[in-house]
Amino acid sequence: MKKLLINLIIICAFIFTSQMAIATPISQGWQALKTHNTKKAYDYFYDYHQQHPNNIEALRGLGATFYAAGDTLRAAPYFLAVLRLSPSDIDARRRLTQIYFYRENYSGAIRVNKGILKYRPNDKAALLNVAYANTLRGKYRTNIAQYQHYQKR
């Protein structure tokens, strides 16, 4: 019984330390990004992404790093990759919305926000973004109430 308990403790300790090792590069990348050190943040996220290409946090971190550096062209593919792995990721959709508005890609902003509305039908920010993007596109002038009515058809 003691041997089983000791083995269980060792296994739990191994799992805990391996989880800590995984989280460390990601958390260091976010910490570097908080201090506006985009080069260091990129290094942490990129190195981790090379080892784990489908890790959502590494992809999100790379996108956020390029966005913070003002390179929206290179940031967008990382957020799109997050959405391919997790279509319901609202944070990635919101960041893509910012990028699309910045690049005046209003149809992209509409598409991304309609994705938010699929998971959160009454999300006011997404409703406003769709209405605003449609107005900027010149397609039609609208407001939230009109869009909600249109959406129910």
Is residue 58 a part of any domain in this protein? yes
Is residue 80 a part of any domain in this protein? no
Is residue 79 a part of any domain in this protein? no
Domain hosting residue 19, numbered range: 1-67
Q: What does the mean pLDDT of the chain come to? A: 84
55 shares a domain with 23:
yes
Q: How far apart are the first and last CA of the chain?
A: 65
CA distance 22 to 41: 16
Please indicate whether residue 21 or residue 81 has the higher confidence score (pLDDT): 81
63 shares a domain with 28:
yes
Number of domains in the chain: 2
Q: Is the pLDDT of residue 14 over 90?
A: no
46 shares a domain with 5:
yes
Is residue 76 a part of any domain in this protein? no
CA distance 132 to 136: 6
pLDDT of residue 137: 83
108 shares a domain with 58:
no
CATH of residue 5: 1.25.40
Q: Is the pLDDT of residue 110 over 70?
A: yes
Is residue 81 a part of any domain in this protein? no
Is residue 150 a part of any domain in this protein? yes
CA distance 75 to 68: 9
Q: Per-residue confidence at 18, pLDDT binned at 50, 70, 90?
A: very low
Q: Which pLDDT tens digit goes with each residue over 121-145?
A: 999 999 999 988 988 887 655 555 5
CATH of residue 139: 1.25.40.10
Q: Which pLDDT tens digit goes with each residue over 43-80?
A: 999 999 999 999 999 999 999 999 999 999 999 999 99
Is residue 82 a part of any domain in this protein? no
Is residue 72 a part of any domain in this protein? no
95 shares a domain with 61:
no
Which residues make Cβ contacts (< 8 Å) with residue 6, sequence separation at least 6?
Answer: none
